[in-house]
Structure 1
Amino acid sequence: MSSLAAPAGAAPDAAAVTRVPAVDTSTLTAQARAVLATAPVVTVAADVQFALDVPAVTVVKDPPPPPPPPKPKPKPEVVAPTPRAAAASRSAQRAPVAAAAAQPTPEAPAAEPVGAPAPASANGNAIVEIASRYVGVPYLWGGTTPSGFDCSGYTSYVFAQVGIKLPRTSSAQRNVGTVVPRSQAQPGDLIWTPGHIAIYAGGNTQVDAPRPGKSIQIREIWQSNPTFIRVS
C-alpha cells in the first residue's frame, strides 16, 4: 500500500507527511484474503467536511465560603480580693458615711428675738416698758396673746398687765379715757386713727402691731392727724 495522499487542493508538505511502510500482503492467510476481497470499498469525497457535536459547557463557580464566625470575647478574669483589699474596700465605703456623721448638724435658724428696751423718751413709763417686751411678736389677725397680736388685741393685752381693762376693738377703745392734744401727750397714752390703735412711746414714736406680715415694732408716728387718748 502506498503512502497517504494529501487532501485535495492541498500542496503536500514533504516535511509534514509521515511515510507509512508498505504492507506485504503475500503473507496473509487465505481467510484474510477472503475478507479483503469481500470488504466494501469506502470512498470519501474530496470536499467532505467533518463536524463534531460538542455540547455547550457551562462553568458554574462555587459560592464563596461563609465568613468564619466571630471569636467569642474573652470572659473577664475575676480575681478574688485579698483580705487586705476587701478590708480597704469596706473602709472606703464607710469613709463617706463617717465623714457625713462627723460634720456638725446645721442648726435651725434662730427665731427672731422678742423684746426691746423701751425708748429713752418713755421716761420709765410702765406701759411702754411692758409694750416693749413684745417687740418682734408677729401680727396675727384677731390675735390677743404673745403668740400673735392684732393692733387692738396688743393694746388690750399690755394695759391688762397694769390692771386696766380695755374694750376689744380699736373703735371701742377710741371712746375710753380722755382725749388730749398732741402737745400734752405722755408716754403710755393711746394713739387712735380710724381702723388702727397704738401706744405712744414719747417723742415722735409709737409701739404697735402694724399689719399682716409685720411684727410689733417701735417706730415713728406716721399718722397725719392722730387722736391721743389718756387712760387712767
Structure 2
Amino acid sequence: MTVSTTRARHRAARRPSTPLTEFAAAASDQMGTVGRRTAVVAASSGLVVSMLGSPASATPGGDAGALPAVDTAALTASARAVLNTAPVVTAPADAAWTIDVPAVTAETPPPPPPVKVKAAAASRSTVRAAAAASTAAPAATNAAVPQSVAGNAVLEVAARYVGVPYVSGGSTPAGFDCSGFVSYVYAQLGISLPRTSGGIKAAGTVISRADAQPGDLIWSPGHISIYAGGNDQIDSPRPGKTIQFRAIWQSAPVFIRIG
C-alpha cells in the first residue's frame, strides 16, 4: 500500500488589502521615475539649463522625497556666450560732476518817495531854533575868539553875537548897548539882571582881578563888559562899533561876579 507523504500546502498570510494601501503602493512605484532628465528653457534669453536628476534612492541620506541637485557646470556654450557679451558699465575714478548755475543779478530798489511834513506839525523847539537863527546876526569871520570861550557857557552865548552893531538902548540881537548886551546874554542862561550898568554892578559881588574867571563881569563908570580871561573882554563898545573880543582898556576895571 502506497502512502503519500505530500503535505498540504497553505497560503502564506498576507496583509489585508484596502484601497488606501493600494494607493500608497502605487505612489511608491512612481517615486523611482522622478530622477529622469528634465530641461528648463528660459525663453527671454534662449538659455537652456540642464538638470540631471537621479533616483530618489541615490540622494545622500536616502531621502526619497528630496529634489535633485542642479549641475551649474553643464551650462551650454550659448549660455556662456550670452554672459560674456553682457554689457559692463564702468566709471573712471577721476570722473567730475558739473552743474550749470544760472547767473544771478541783484537790482537796487528805487528810493522811497520823500515824506512831506506839514508846517503845522513842526515841533515848538524847531520853531524857536529857527526864530533864533533868523534874529541872530552872523559872527564876524575875522574876529579873534579866545580859547577860554570853549566850555564856558557865558562866553559861548556871548560869542554868537560878535558883529552885532552897537545901538543906544538896544537889548536885542538887532542891536545892543553895553548893558543891554550883558543882560541879554545872562538871560539866555536863566539869570535876570538889571537893565543898567550901575544896577548890574549892585546885583553882583566885587572880586579881585586875581580871582576873576572867564564869564565874570568888568565894570567901569558908564560901561560894563564880560571878562574873557587873560587880558581880554567882549562888549558892545560905542556907536559905530560892533560886538567884539578886545583887550581890557579900562585903567581901573572892577570885576563883578554874579551869583
TM-score (normalised: structure 2)? 0.45
Higher RCO (CA < 8 A, seq sep 6+): 1
